[in-house]
Amino acid sequence: MQLSTKDLNYLKDELSWELLAFKKCHHYAQESQDPQIKQLIDQVGRMHQQHYQQILTHLDPHATMAAPPQAQAGVNPSLSQ
């Protein structure tokens, strides 16, 4: 897939945000006392790591650009809807 310079710059930024996000969530989840908060932050962290992997797929020169994995919608289905 052809990427513009601008696309690449955004994707790099996004990877950096996602990386920091899931490292932070992992750290916070370990520190949290309330099991509900712990679980919620952990789920948010997992979502960010999935996003990271998803974005990375689009930068892989050897990837067959078939169907990139769809990340799950929402982090806490029990709380939404």
Partner 1 sequence: MQQQNQQQATPQQSTGLPQVKGPEMNDRDRINDVLAMIKYMNVAYNVAVNEASNDTLYQMQMNILTNLHQAQRDVYNAMAAKGWYKTDPADMQKIQQTYQQFSNYQTQFPYS
Question: Least distance to partner 1 from the beta carbon of 60, Å?
Answer: 13
With tokens 């996602």, the residue in question is: 18
- Under rule CB under 8 A, residue 60 binds partner 1: no
Among 15, 19, 21, 53, contact with partner 1 (rule: CB under 8 A): 21
Q: Report which DSSP code applies to 79.
A: T
With tokens 């932070």, the residue in question is: 24
Type of residue numbered 13? D
Q: Report which DSSP code applies to 76.
A: -
Q: Which residues bind partner 1 (CB under 8 A)?
A: 1-4, 6-7, 10-11, 13-14, 17, 21, 24-25, 28, 31-34, 36-37, 40-41, 44, 47, 51, 54-55, 58, 65, 68, 70-76, 79-80
